[in-house]
Chain A
């Protein structure tokens, strides 16, 4: 086989998929580089270079923990990669089956794939074990759609069903550059058979088998590899998912700047005072404490600068190094609680919730706007045929009669019937215009074949329609050799040759089939539809749409053989085109689909999901705004929306006037459709467009519910972006299940997909049902937010408490940068002494019971707008820390005014002084946490003291034990702890 791909510059192609970031060799340097790109880490690195001992260990700890986390995640990716790359595949080489690893596949290799195997690369289907060269494929792991799709081989290669014959194939394939769109593929195959001129066939997505999809119900296929490794559509789709940052993280950075400012101020104050103090000669260099020659000779400005730096190092613990690692750990470990939650488990699909990112847990507690898709998200997406309308006559199938239908073997009794011919035409159209497949019965059983049919389709609507037609006596039996077979009401099999299928797509929102009638029975000439009948149908359609049904209109057109020739030519031409195939096809389709005759309409019901309404109600009560963005309803003619352009301005201003009159207590909903919306959003050349947009937004803001219908996928994302960029940048959440929701999910702050669907791969969280959103937001989101907000505040608080005494001590040691605490305490404070309680707290805290949270949505409002990380709470914590730090220092200071604290008269030194303060500090900070949580999980508070007595460094030798032998010290510790905590104690009351 010759595979010649034009338009492709790169020659070297490897079949390896690499999704991992690191290898064993570059992990260390690359990871370190990535980590130090973070500003905080870089700052700590600078501090570390200046004073290696005290700040080195925390930094090392932080870097190590982060590296382990990232290494673990990368290892998982490596494992997944290996699974894909090392899997065995069979390649046909010289008429033999050769076993290879999948990464060895080269473009142009012929690959054999067995049933239920996944395709190792993107393949062009050459032949399958079936006669007609089709195979069934499920792309569940690719886009989440679990239904079977049919793929076709090119006619000329269908016969090559053996290893030997396929080896004789001489062909060249031209295809486009690799691109990520799963549903687009343009290519051409030139087949050279027996020195005759090459036969060219067009290749489309229906010929392409995607890597990652699974072969179903087909024993074996042969295919040519066209894209391998990183060029496959699957690999291209996994690239470049943008990083979302949570609001809390932004708050942390703001706090960090405040604390950096405090740090700089402190260092500056100390440096200034140091030089003021040193201006007295006996302070600068008393006889007992002389400088070295080198110190004396150092240039003064340089000395001041190094002094400033030394103070920075001394006070740098005010910026909590370990906070980042604790936050990371909290997020990582905390996210397990979502996937562990039993309430999110869905029996039907055997899946619980899925967490794709742990970075946004707390964002779930901050959502202002919920954008939801309708179909499949709010609704079950299991369609039921409700009624139809033929020539303005309404036919209603009663659900209960469904079972009895096969027995009565005839049409349902109609109250008022349309012309028999019209009726049959309508039902035939329903039977023919679809892409439903009949699942072949493995067991050959001629009797049951007709009555027990399993339909498969990519669209549940189609199945509902076919089933609906069956109710009225027209049964679709299947496709054979390009003929569609329909069993009519008289139990006769009618055969139609399927000439062309103009597929349904989201843009055209219609599909049609061109069939050639075989049996003469129905070749009667149909009368033209009368105008009044159109009106009648329209009434029905509108009525049905109001009731929330999905409506489709059925129309037909007769094509004369001559016309068909022309159409056929155009279609084939368009299908063969390499460039702009889409546009060309669309144009031809449009041409064909004009001057259709309307026969009737159908209504299909999409059932609302279990508890969907209750969930929306709860979300409303929680102060969330729920917008429903849906692509539903057939798009009306474009002309209507242009017609209303002139009126748009009027309408909007009118609405605004009304808006001003609205009172707070009334609740309004807004319904807008996609075409109108595009006028508002996209009329950029219009000078007044900004005005429209703002007026529209004003209206939306006042509404509690907004329904946007007939939305294109991109419009959904546009709406989300528009709301996201509002003043105060509200947090948005999008939930959806289909491919058309992905753009909106990616755009919003938090994306939630439905489990097992395409959207779940691109989302941040996936839950099986819409109702789970309630607990996810109201309970999990709320708790995560409270936990992390408290964690952040507490971290800043405890470090300010820690460093303030050290700052005050400078006033008593001649601003000489003498540390108050021993280096070990400085280093271990955040790592050992105070880290575990807050981590346990931030994982387990439930300040309000989960059941209470879910049952009372109003609690959600209390934390909205990042309430716990605003200036108020921040100042409260900062002042509390300042108060406590002062109490610690001066309490101990006054204690040290005496001669001795010991009953044997011995004297304590400066290290004891620091250790006492440190002891009070650790106890206070830990007890403070205990007071803040009304939720005591017993194992939270241990840890700190364990390593305490073991610190026996030279200068700290026995300091701690000696300290404990003093009753006064004990009394002081108790007293000062109580004093520090008293504001909180009285606050409790």
Chain B
């Protein structure tokens, strides 16, 4: 019987379809993506998988922690290279006004920035109508105490310990980021037209006699320019290199530290310190990491034990031990 109500009939008699077009179906593609049937890894977290994780983490973390702790504590013995740091406290090198008070272009040897430093350097930008090089508060407040170390001999004679000035800054800072103004002239000529920072005694081109450690690429300067993260900080000052394998770098004995005191810290309630330290594979002495690892490892292990007990009881009371979230 052809007489029925059917929408399809109307479509058939409807708009003329292009030949072959009638077969075109609008059925969506049957692909895994479109049908939301992508293969996926669906781990079922059960006691069987979670418990070992805790134990394994415990077993890994505790030895690491002990290792770090021992290493950290061994750093006392002055063998190998010794690093000499100075420390300042209550000194806000991370103050916003301070951090941005520098001109990286000038420090990179850009001649135009040299004579026309960035506005960020205010109020340490110009002095007596001359641009300051290096400009800014950071450079202006560069640490300028001199520390000298002597070994006190048997007859109270002082043997100076050679302190190495170079190799204390990041290699990239020293060789890429900080550049003296270009040219072949002596440094003084290249810095012509600039003036020294207000608080400095000497201009920047007289920081050191060594051409490779003078001007902007002076390593003491570079180290200072890397602003510290916290108000109490230490900065690397000198290296004491080990001479040979037979003797410790700094054998036990009396030492004499000569400080040329220039740097005022009382006005802001600050402190100065000098630290001598050896360095291990994990850096300086730091009990935090070792203790943290041991603690977390132990807690993880304990948790594993507790969960094991609970799980054991649970399994006794019920047959289904699988707990899914």
Contact = CB atoms under 8 A, between A and B. Distances in A.
A279 interface: no
Interface string B260-297: 00001001110000010101111111101100110010
Given A896-B230, A899-B83, A904 B279 contact: yes
A289 B98 contact: yes
A812 B283 contact: no
Most buried by B among A286, A290, A894: A286
B14 interface: yes
Interface in B94-117: 94-99, 101, 104
Interface in B71-108: 81, 83, 85, 91-99, 101, 104
A978 interface: yes
B59 interface: no
A563 interface: no
Interface string A334-374: 00110111100100111110000000000000000000000
Interface string A900-912: 1111111111101
A975 B292 contact: yes
A288 B226 contact: no
B192 interface: no
Contacts of A908: 226, 229
A924 B320 CA distance: 33
B137 A907 contact: no
Contacts of B85: 899-900, 907
Contacts of B13: 216-217
B154 to A, nearest CB: 31
Contact of A903 (B231, B264, B269, B281): B281
Interface in B1-56: 1-11, 13-16, 25-30, 34-38, 40-45, 47, 50, 53
Interface stretch (A323-331, A453-461, A695-703): A453-461
A405 to B, nearest CB: 10
Given A148-B10, A287-B267, A971-B68, A910 B227 contact: yes
Contacts of B231: 812-814
A898 interface: yes
A967 B176 CA distance: 24
B3 A467 contact: yes
- Interface size class for chain B? 35 or more
A287 B124 CA distance: 12
Contact of A935 (B27, B30, B42): B42
Contact of A972 (B141, B176, B289): B289
Contact of A844 (B7, B38, B95, B284): B38
B147 interface: no
B179 interface: no
Contacts of A850: 36-37
A293 B126 CA distance: 13
Interface stretch (A489-497, A587-595, A955-963): A955-963
B135 interface: no
A140 B10 CA distance: 10
B95 A898 contact: no
Contact of B91 (A148, A288, A967): A288
B223 interface: yes
B26 A350 contact: yes
A909 B50 contact: no
A988 B50 CA distance: 8
Nearest to B141: A288
A936 B43 CA distance: 9
Nearest to B105: A954
A760 B27 CA distance: 18
A340 B283 contact: no
Interface in A936-980: 936-938, 954-955, 957-958, 962, 966-968, 971-972, 975, 978-979
B14 A909 contact: no
A340 B29 contact: yes
A339 B28 CA distance: 8
Contact of A937 (B10, B40, B177, B269): B40
Contacts of B83: 899-900, 905
Contacts of A382: 4-6
B123 A813 contact: no
A214 interface: yes
A89 to B, nearest CB: 17
Given A893-B230, A905-B81, A116 B286 contact: no
Given A934-B42, A979-B296, A986-B303, A894 B288 contact: yes
Contacts of B41: 936, 938
B97 A816 contact: yes
Given A902-B283, A903-B281, A957 B68 contact: no
A146 B7 contact: yes
B10 A138 contact: yes
Contacts of A460: 5
A894 B173 CA distance: 26
A403 B1 CA distance: 8
Nearest to B84: A905
B227 A341 contact: no
A906 B169 contact: yes
Interface string A402-436: 11000000000000000000000000000000000
Interface stretch (B207-215, B232-240, B247-255): B232-240
A288 B94 contact: no
Given A935-B40, A978-B57, A989 B45 contact: yes
Contacts of A905: 81, 83, 168, 236, 239, 277, 279, 283-284
B280 A903 contact: yes
A898 B286 contact: yes
A430 to B, nearest CB: 15
B92 A975 contact: no
Contacts of A228: none
A400 interface: no
A202 interface: no
Contacts of A846: 36, 40
A349 B141 contact: no
Nearest to A957: B177
B3 A293 contact: no
Contacts of A457: 5
A463 B223 CA distance: 95
B268 A287 contact: yes
A70 to B, nearest CB: 25
B281 A967 contact: yes
A958 B45 contact: no
Given A287-B267, A383-B5, A895 B288 contact: yes
26 contacts: A140-B10, A289-B97, A290-B124, A291-B97, A293-B123, A342-B28, A342-B34, A345-B27, A348-B8, A383-B5, A454-B2, A813-B94, A814-B95, A893-B230, A895-B286, A898-B283, A900-B234, A901-B282, A903-B282, A906-B168, A909-B229, A936-B43, A955-B104, A958-B170, A968-B283, A975-B61
Given A905-B168, A934-B42, A971-B293, 4 more contacts: A147-B5, A467-B3, A813-B92, A968-B282
Interface of B: 1-11, 13-16, 25-30, 34-38, 40-45, 47, 50, 53, 57, 61, 64, 68, 81, 83, 85, 91-99, 101, 104, 122-124, 137, 140-141, 167-170, 172-173, 176-177, 199, 223, 226-231, 233-236, 239, 264, 267-269, 275, 277, 279-286, 288-289, 292-293, 296, 300, 303, 307, 323, 325
Closest 5 A-B residue pairs measured CB to CB? A288-B141, A899-B284, A898-B286, A913-B229, A816-B96
